[in-house]
């Protein structure tokens, strides 16, 4: 922080490090070996859609870009009850036990980077990658765009979550990913698709 920033109480917001998304495949191996959670092969990026044709065109171009080519994922968008848009990337894994997380992370990175470069970065909220275990529990690794950190979210019902499991996952992945230390930023994503 600069002297003037300290004097006026202003600080620069932390910049997102989107390359951190590429840490998810190794974190997935740790989650699977330590806790039995396997990735579903799906992922999503959440953002507040901007008004206007420019944003609509950018979003449409993103969907078309990700969905083209042989073996491309199914890509769609949907809005939630809070006014956020979710861009969903649904990979059909060749091997259900080992979905291609590297391709998924590349797709999520491309969505975030493209929106950021097109000037829509302030509307980005988070990206998430869901996992499941043999007991049908679901957990997502959530990347907070504005913080540049991850946190686990483990919903157990309409408005409940497994805080103990979230802490256990945080402790398991502490050496794998940049984790959000401030628990008040661990948002409950009740309307997140696929959870």
Q: Residues 63-82: pLDDT tens digits? A: 888 888 777 888 989 988 88
How far apart CA 166 and CA 64 sit, in angstroms, is: 35
Question: With bands split at pLDDT 50, 70 and 90, how would you rate the model's confidence at 96?
Answer: low
Average pLDDT on 50-61 reads 84
Using a pLDDT cut of 90, give the percent of the chain over it.
53
Coil, helix or strand at residue 145: coil
What integer best gives the mean pLDDT of the chain? 87
Question: With bands split at pLDDT 50, 70 and 90, how would you rate the model's confidence at 8?
Answer: low
List, as own/partner pairs, every contact residues 52-59 make where C-beta atoms lie below 8 angstroms and the sequence separation is at least 24, other chains included. Answer: 54/118, 55/120, 58/114, 58/115, 58/118, 58/120, 59/85, 59/87
pLDDT at 50: 84
Question: With bands split at pLDDT 50, 70 and 90, how would you rate the model's confidence at 3?
Answer: low
Question: With bands split at pLDDT 50, 70 and 90, how would you rate the model's confidence at 119?
Answer: confident
Mind listing the pLDDT tens digit for each residue in 158-187?
Answer: 889 999 999 999 999 999 999 999 999 999
pLDDT at 65: 84
pLDDT at 90: 87
């Amino acid at each position: 922080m600069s002297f003037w920033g300290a004097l006026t109480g202003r600080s620069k917001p932390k910049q997102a490090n989107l390359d951190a998304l590429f840490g998810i495949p190794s974190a997935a191996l740790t989650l699977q070996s330590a806790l039995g959670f396997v990735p579903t092969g799906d992922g999503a990026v959440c953002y507040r859609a901007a008004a206007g044709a420019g944003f609509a065109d950018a979003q449409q171009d993103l969907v078309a870009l990700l969905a083209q080519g042989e073996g491309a994922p199914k890509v769609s968008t949907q809005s939630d009850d809070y006014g956020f848009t979710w861009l969903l990337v649904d990979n059909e894994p060749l091997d259900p036990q080992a979905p291609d997380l590297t391709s998924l992370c590349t797709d999520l990175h491309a969505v975030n980077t493209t929106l950021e470069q097109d000037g829509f970065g302030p509307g980005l909220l988070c990206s998430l990658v869901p996992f499941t275990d043999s007991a049908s529990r679901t957990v997502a690794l959530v990347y907070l765009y504005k913080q540049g950190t991850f946190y686990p979210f483990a919903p157990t019902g309409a408005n409940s979550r497994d805080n103990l499991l979230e802490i256990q996952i945080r402790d398991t992945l502490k050496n794998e990913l940049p984790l959000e230390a401030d628990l008040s930023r661990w948002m409950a994503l009740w309307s997140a698709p696929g959870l």
